[in-house]
C-alpha cells in the first residue's frame, strides 16, 4: 500500500479505499502473486479436455480449481470444451495427476491431451498506459474520486 500510495501521491487510506471499491465493484477478483514456476524447476502443461457430458463439468471444474498444480482454467467454444494450465515438478507427478483425473472423471471426459509448454513469455501486467490512466483517475489531493 505504501509503495502504491507514494508512487501516485495519495495517502495509504485513499489507496485502500480505492482498492476496496474495485473489489466491491468486481473489477478486481483477487490479489495473488504471479509465480514463475519455471524458476522453481517445474514444467508447464496445457490440458485440453473434450467432455462427454457437459452437464457434469461442474465437478470436474471444481476438482481442477482446487488442484495445487492448476493455475488457470478456461471454458471454450471450440473443438475442446476446457483448457487448463498446470505445472508439475516432474513427469512422474504429471502422470500421477493424469491417473487420478481419469480414475475420477473417465465417464465425464471424452478426450484429452497434455501439451508441454515450450516457453512462457513474461507479460507486462501493469503497462505504462494503465499506470497513467490510474494516475489521472486518482485525486492528487488524496480525496477519493469515483473511478
Return the C-alpha cell found at 31: 490479489
Please tell me the predicted confidence (pLDDT) of residue 69.
92
Please tell me the predicted confidence (pLDDT) of residue 84.
97
Taking the mean position of all CA atoms in its chain, how far away is CA 46?
14
Please tell me the predicted confidence (pLDDT) of residue 93.
96
CB 25 within 8 Å of CB 96: no
Question: Cα 87–88–94 angle (5° rounding)?
Answer: 115
- What's domain 37-116's architecture? 2-Layer Sandwich (3.30)
No. of helices (H) and no. of strands (E), the chain: 5, 4
* CATH 3.30.70.920-classified regions of the chain: 37-116
Q: Please, what's the largest Cα pairwise distance for the chain?
A: 60
Nearest to 105, CA basis, from 147, 145, 144, 47: 47
Residue with cell 480449481: 65
82-88, strands of its sheet edge to edge: 70-75, 82-88, 43-51, 109-116
CB 35 within 8 Å of CB 107: no
Please tell me the predicted confidence (pLDDT) of residue 137.
65
pLDDT by residue for the chain (147 residues), tens only, comes to 888 888 888 899 998 898 899 888 888 887 777 777 888 889 999 999 999 977 778 999 999 999 989 989 999 999 999 999 999 999 999 999 999 999 999 999 999 999 999 887 776 666 677 667 766 665 444 454 554
Return the C-alpha cell found at 39: 524458476
Please tell me the predicted confidence (pLDDT) of residue 28.
82
Amino acid at each position: 500500500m505504501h509503495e502504491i500510495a507514494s508512487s501516485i501521491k495519495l495517502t495509504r487510506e485513499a489507496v485502500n479505499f480505492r482498492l476496496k471499491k474495485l473489489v466491491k465493484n468486481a473489477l478486481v477478483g483477487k490479489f495473488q502473486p504471479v509465480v514463475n514456476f519455471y524458476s522453481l524447476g517445474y514444467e508447464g502443461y496445457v490440458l485440453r479436455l473434450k467432455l462427454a457430458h457437459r452437464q457434469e463439468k461442474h465437478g470436474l471444474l471444481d476438482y481442477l480449481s482446487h488442484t495445487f498444480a492448476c493455475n488457470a482454467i478456461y471454458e471454450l467454444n471450440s473443438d475442446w470444451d476446457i483448457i487448463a494450465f498446470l505445472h508439475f515438478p516432474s513427469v512422474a507427478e504429471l502422470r500421477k495427476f493424469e491417473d487420478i483425473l481419469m480414475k475420477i472423471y473417465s465417464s465425464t471426459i471424452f478426450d484429452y491431451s497434455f501439451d508441454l509448454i515450450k516457453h512462457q513469455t513474461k507479460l507486462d501486467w501493469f503497462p505504462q498506459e494503465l499506470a497513467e490512466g490510474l494516475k489521472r483517475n486518482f485525486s492528487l489531493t488524496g480525496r477519493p474520486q469515483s473511478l
